[in-house]
């Protein structure tokens, strides 16, 4: 398995080796030793596992949990293809406002580690794209917030006609969320 640090401090892409043969293939989608070497700690205790299925053109995010300790995620795409985004929303972070993207697909078996305090979004590139999440805490609706995917200051490569939920359509820009004190703080 290969690990690659993304442009956002603390976020990692993991790409396992795939072993095909005449029967099909074998892949280890998570390897603790590689994860620990890259991230510097074992995988967080998993409090919730969730799945979303999206049709082509659906965009979800930029989602984050406001209250400390936030919510860490380990994300992969088990069907279809998505363009996955990690955005640094941590006020005071050296990479605040920086984002990076990884194409996740059922063919590549790539996964992304998203530490607490970072925003997460994706654009479904195929129908029935299925994104699976391991999360460090359960869903807490009062603490789950969003920043606009279409914020021109973020400049995510997102089509203006991406299908979004009402919650995502009315989400504030990064500057407005920061001014309102809605963003997580960075702790070194």
Q: How far apart are CA 145 and CA 84, in angstroms?
A: 18
Catalytic residue among 76, 113, 120, 133: 133
Known catalytic membership, residue 63: yes
Q: Is the confidence at residue 61, as pLDDT, over 80?
A: yes
Task: Tell me the pLDDT of the chain averaged across its residues.
Answer: 95
Q: How far apart are CA 91 and CA 177, in angstroms?
A: 11
Q: How confident is the model at residue 146 (pLDDT cuts 50, 70, 90)?
A: very high
| Average pLDDT, integer, range 29-56 | 96
CATH superfamily of 44-180: Jelly Rolls (2.60.120.10)
Known catalytic membership, residue 186: no
Rg of the chain's alpha carbons, rounded to an integer? 16
Q: How far apart are CA 109 and CA 9, in angstroms?
A: 22
Say how far residue 71 (Cα) sits from the centre of its chain: 11
Tell me: cis bond preceding 62? Omega within 30 of 0 counts.
yes
Q: 139-162: b or e for each residue (b if 16 or more CB lie within 10 Å)?
A: eeeeeebbbbbbbeebebebeeeb
| Average pLDDT, integer, range 93-120 | 96
Q: Is the confidence at residue 79, as pLDDT, over 70?
A: yes
| Average pLDDT, integer, range 63-86 | 93
Catalytic residue among 35, 63, 64, 74: 63
Q: Is the confidence at residue 39, as pLDDT, over 80?
A: yes
Q: How far apart are CA 58 and CA 44, in angstroms?
A: 29
Q: Would you state the pLDDT for residue 68?
A: 78
Full-model pTM: 0.94
Q: Would you state the pLDDT for residue 188?
A: 62
Q: Check the CA dihedral 90-68-136-39 and report its sign.
A: positive
Q: Is the confidence at residue 67, as pLDDT, over 80?
A: no
Q: How far apart are CA 26 and CA 179, in angstroms?
A: 48
Each domain of the chain, given as residue ranges in start order, spans 44-180
């Amino acid at each position: 398995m290969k690990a690659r640090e993304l442009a956002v401090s603390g976020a990692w892409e993991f790409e396992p080796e795939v072993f095909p043969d005449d029967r099909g293939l074998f892949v280890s989608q998570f390897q603790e030793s590689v994860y620990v070497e890259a991230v510097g700690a074992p995988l967080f205790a998993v409090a919730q596992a969730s799945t979303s299925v999206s049709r082509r053109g659906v965009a979800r995010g930029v989602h984050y949990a406001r209250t400390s300790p936030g919510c860490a995620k380990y994300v992969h795409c088990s069907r279809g293809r998505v363009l996955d985004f990690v955005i640094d929303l941590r006020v005071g972070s050296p990479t605040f406002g920086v984002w990076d993207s990884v194409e996740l697909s059922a063919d590549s078996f790539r996964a992304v580690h998203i530490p607490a305090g970072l925003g997460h979004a994706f654009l479904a590139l195929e129908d029935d794209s299925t994104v699976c999440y391991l999360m460090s805490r359960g869903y807490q609706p009062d603490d789950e917030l969003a920043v606009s995917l279409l914020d021109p200051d973020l400049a995510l490569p997102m089509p203006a006609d991406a299908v979004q939920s009402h919650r995502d359509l009315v989400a504030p820009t990064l500057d407005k969320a920061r001014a309102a004190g809605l963003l997580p703080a960075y702790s070194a």
